[in-house]
Structure 1
Amino acid sequence: MTGVPSDPRRRRAARHAQPAGGPAAPSSPKRPITVDRITDAALQVVATEGYDALTIRRVAAVLGSGPSSLYAHIVNKDDIDDLLVGRLCSEIVLPEPDPATWRTQIFDAYAQIRDQYLKYPGISRAALGTVPTNLDALRVREGLFAILLAGGVEPQTAAWALDALSLYVSAYALEQSLVRQRRKNPDDEWVLGREELLSRFTALPADTFPQTRRYATELTSGSGHDRFEFTLRLMIDNLTRQAG
């Protein structure tokens, strides 16, 4: 096809160099394999079977094709991860940076990212294992960076804060996915409810675990999202103190 790079690596580079869009492909009796369809199929696999089930062969099966047909559009499994992160990032709504409300803005943006990850079990592993190059992912990173800078955070601190905040959000979403997965499996009995955990803490030997027994209620308090909010706000609230 004229104007379309034949090398999948060049195609990936082209996707990252220009916004998605352009003239629509001509209609065909058989739906052609496209990057968007590959991404849709990959999300379907993760949503129904979990991230561990995501392979090029499995995505190809969902599309009713063979793996070789995907290699005309992608390079490898890492390329699919990049597409997945980009698709999730395309759903993130970013505000115009406001110095007066930047803390709320950055928290709300990361809460959106968390919720996107939680829709697809384990998908935050794709974000943990890749450097963002997809334009949608870079758009979100640019927006988050702009919010931090508008809040008076020093550029170097803001740059490293992006990594730290993103790492925490990805790890939190992954932990939540693992907990949900293990609760569905009756063999994974170590995932305990709060009451059972509280009972075990208070039953520990007092001479060996005095603080755990005394503060068992505090140690087991709060939902996952309560702790997420506490940690994220703790990190955000301390960013402007670094210069001193």
Structure 2
Amino acid sequence: MPADPGQRRARRAARHAQPAAGSTPQAPRKAPITADRITDAALRVIATEGYDALTIRRVAAVLDTGPSSLYAHIVNKEDLDELLVARLCAEIELPEPDPDSWRQQLLDVYAQLRDLYLKYPGIPRAALAMVPTHLETLRVGEGILAILLAGGVEPQTAAWALDALTLYVSAYALERSLLQQRRQHHDDSWVLSRDELIDRFTALPADHFPHTRRHAAELTSGTGHDRFDFTLALIIGNLTGA
């Protein structure tokens, strides 16, 4: 095993990039610890306890082993974050870029990413704090960039649009997961209903907040993913295509 973490990550990436050679090993009596099993266990922790509960020690406990067994396959918590985001990206289906429907294709791909993030509360924090280098994460970036370019978007604009859209999806999912976490822990005293918000807005001093009072209904409107759909459509709709 290479001592250098960078070499270890590169070797793991190479294993994902190339199919393993031919022979079929006999099933071991006890499943060995692997990067895939570590990722599976980490996702279970996040799905049931939230991202804040994710530690190397907690994942080791799920696998009924010690933390040192995990460090033979991952470098640190940041390395695990990369594996987690890559696993989610592996589930995203990318379409063949179509110049006639590229905007809708972008909306569909980002809706997939949104739903995967919402399935694992708090996991967008991992995505926001890393530079993508895993092949699966790069595959999704490549696919989105291909859609933008197929729509005739200029390369520099396409590159920054990719970044802006991905950042928004991560932030949106993180906000939703934080709200969900507060409700699960009964810390919902700061979570107001729409009616409560409207009451507060309309009770503001009219001389200082005339527009907030008048448009309280508009400011608090939207259900489900209405605001998500609006924002993505707003960004994508203002991209100049062919």
Whole-angstrom distance in 1 between the partners of 2:217 and 2:175:
22
Task: Output aligned runs, 1:143-162, within 5 Å.
Answer: 143-162=143-162
1:197/1:220 contact within 8 Å kept: yes
Amino acid at match of 1:78: E
Residue equivalent to 1:16: 13
Give the drift of 1:15.
Answer: 2.5
The reply on whether 1:103 has 2:103 as its aligned counterpart is: yes
Show CA shifts across 1:180-203 (max 9, x none). 111223334111111111111112
Whole-angstrom distance in 2 between the partners of 1:39 and 1:198:
43
Task: Output aligned runs, 1:1-244, within 5 Å.
Answer: 5-7=1-3, 9-17=6-14, 18-19=16-17, 21-23=19-21, 25-240=25-240
Query: Taking every aligned residue pair, what percent have the same amino acid on both sides?
Result: 71
Which TM-score applies when normalising by structure 1? 0.93
Secondary structure of the structure 1 residue equivalent to 2:46: helix
1:16/1:133 contact within 8 Å kept: no
Which TM-score applies when normalising by structure 2? 0.93
Show CA shifts across 1:104-135 (max 9, x none). 00111001000000000000111101111111
Instruction: Report how many residues are paired.
Output: 238
Whole-angstrom distance in 2 between the partners of 1:67 and 1:168:
34
Whole-angstrom distance in 1 between the partners of 2:199 and 2:18:
54
Amino acid at match of 2:51: Y
1:145/1:159 contact within 8 Å kept: yes
Give the drift of 1:21.
Answer: 4.3
Superposed CA RMSD = 1.7
Give the 3 Å change call, closer, same or farther, for CA 49–25 of structure 1 in structure 2: farther
- Structure 1 residues not aligned, in runs of 5+: none
Give the 3 Å change call, closer, same or farther, for CA 25–83 of structure 1 in structure 2: farther
